[in-house]
A and B are shown apart, each in its own frame.
Chain A
Amino acid sequence: DIQMTQSPSSLSASVGDRVTITCRASQGISNSLAWYQQKPGKAPKLLLYAASRLESGVPSRFSGSGSGTDYTLTISSLQPEDFATYYCQQYYSTPVTFGGGTKVEIK
């Protein structure tokens, strides 16, 4: 199975900050990577897929990049509604696997 390692596991940031979350796969996944946002008590919400493609309706302050084993989610200017937990997920091979999550908290 492909292991997905996210960092950091949590971070504190202020509204307007630029935030970067990284995800490393245990082997190359050829950009087969999705990012989700999850708020407490809610289902995950798809933000990006194919490493950098923005899901319909997702604000453009969210962006993704990377290749091979290393990927990044960037929030260019953190908004109050962005405080949540973010997960990466590889779908290069079955079983699809998720990173451990990054909790973005208010500083």
Chain B
Amino acid sequence: EVQLVESGGGLVQPGGSLRLSCAASGFTFSSYWMSWVRQAPGKGLEWVANIKQDGSEKYYVDSVKGRFTISRDNAKNSLYLQMNSLRAEDTAVYYCARDFEDFWSGYYNYWGQGTLVTVSS
């Protein structure tokens, strides 16, 4: 059974940092593009970043470029999101999501349960 379990969310002050993790199991993690998607309270879905199977390609939404870094450790079946210079508008539930197929597909058939990041003083 495919499972994605996020952790690392919490309350952080503006300008602070946080590192999210996503532990993957039930599939060959190293074969799939992985993404982070967020959802602000009461709002819609926003794609944040994705990373290629071997980590050689990474893409970000403009609003997080230069502040967030996506990475992965295929030996540990884990995906990460390092978030620096956090702003109030980064407050959201952050989901990790797996691409549908073992090549870039851009849509997601497996999602984690999400982890809440709250940026507030």
Contact = CB atoms under 8 A, between A and B. Distances in A.
Q: Classify chain B's interface size.
A: 10 to 19
A99 B44 contact: yes
Given A32-B106, A91-B107, A96 B44 contact: no
Nearest to A50: B107
Contacts of B106: 32, 91, 94, 96
Contacts, number: 50
Interface in A17-52: 32, 34, 36, 38, 43-46, 49
Contacts of B113: 43
Contacts of B105: 49, 91
Given A43-B112, A43-B113, A87-B45, A49 B107 contact: yes
Interface of A: 1, 32, 34, 36, 38, 43-46, 49, 55, 87, 89, 91, 94-101
Interface of B: 44-47, 50, 59, 61-62, 95, 100, 105-109, 111-114
